A = this chain, B = another copy of it.
Amino acid sequence: MIEWFDDVRVGMRFTTAEKLVTREDIKRFATEFDPQPYHLDEAAAEQSMLKGLAASGWHTAAMSMRLAVDAHPFGPHPLLGLGVDELRCLAPVRPGDLIRLEGEVTEVTPSKTRPQGTVKVKWTAYNQDGMAVYTFTPIGIVPRRAKVV
């Protein structure tokens, strides 16, 4: 099990639970944070490039964060990020979709000045058909194991 930065290796993989995306959740999130026709109005969404109601990309991002948090990739340590690289919306997330994430460690960099390191995990969200719908690569901070002196 990964507990500290020292335990993390490039190529390690994580999986998460699944999350059902509901029509109500899509509209509730969009009403507060992304009130655009694609995410609020079935008829307008049909006429748009998305060809039907779809979750805001930021909603998919937030749901994916929850799945990643609950997977506890770094054991007891919470997820704290400096930022995110390569956030991409790959396909629409629809009402009734069941999304899950797979993650892979792509980079580990020990800090030269602090007892910690940064870890990049490339996460990809898939729907129930196995189609990749979203990907993001957060840059996380993970503490190092205390040295015994």
Counting CB contacts under 8 A, is A88 at the interface? yes
Give the segment of A9-17, A61-69, A101-109, A122-130 that binds chain B.
A61-69
**What is the count of identical protomers in the complex?**
2
A-side interface mostly:
mixed
Alpha-carbon separation in the docked complex, A107 to B1 (Å) = 43
At the interface, yes or no: A132 with Cβ under 8 Å from chain B? no
Interface string of A38-50 (1 = CB under 8 A from B): 1000000000111
Chain A interfacial positions (CB closer than 8 Å to B): 29, 32-38, 48-50, 56-59, 61-63, 65-66, 69, 78-89, 141
The 3 closest A-B pairs by CB, nearest first: A83-B88, A33-B62, A84-B87
